[in-house]
Amino acid sequence: MHEYSIVGALIEQCEQHAEDNDATKVTRVAIKVGILSGVEPALLETAFQTFKLEGVCHDAIFEMQIQPLVLSCFECGQETTHNERSIICGHCQSNRTQVIDGEDLLLMQLELE
C-alpha cells in the first residue's frame, strides 16, 4: 500500500510548512486526489488518521477533494469530464483523447496555528 508512503511524505511536507511559518500545529490539511492518480482515497484517509497521531498534525482535519478526469478529444475537439477511469470521449466515443486533469495528488491548503 503506497498510500502509507504518500501520507508519510504529506505529513513531512506539513511539518516543514509549519516550521517555516513558526506554527506549532496544523489544524486542517486539504488535498486534491485525481481519479487517475493511482491512489485509493479510503486507504489514504486511513493512513492519514493513523500517521497524524504524532507531531504537528495530531488534531488536523483531513479534507479530500476527488478530482474528476477531464479529457480533450482529438477527434471531435470536445472536452469531457468523467467520474470513472475511462479515456473514451463522452461525445464521440473515440479513444484518441488527452488527459487535461485528474492524474494529480496535490496539497491544496494548510491551516496552521
User: From CA 7, how far away is CA 46, in angstroms rounded?
Assistant: 10
* pLDDT for the residue 2: 83
Which segments in the chain show pLDDT lower than 50? none
Rg (CA), the chain: 17
Domains of the chain in start order, with CATH, are: 3-112 (3.30.2320.80)
* pLDDT for the residue 1: 56
Residues 68 and 83 sit within 8 Å (Cβ to Cβ): yes
As given in the structure block, the three cell numbers for residue 87 are 479515456
Residue 89, annotated as binding a ligand: yes
As given in the structure block, the three cell numbers for residue 80 are 469531457
Residue 76, annotated as binding a ligand: yes
Instruction: Give pTM, 2 decimals.
Output: 0.85
Residue 73, annotated as binding a ligand: yes
**What pLDDT digit, counting tens, does each position of 84-101 carry?**
999 999 999 999 999 999
Cell 491551516 -> residue: 111
Residue 91, annotated as binding a ligand: no
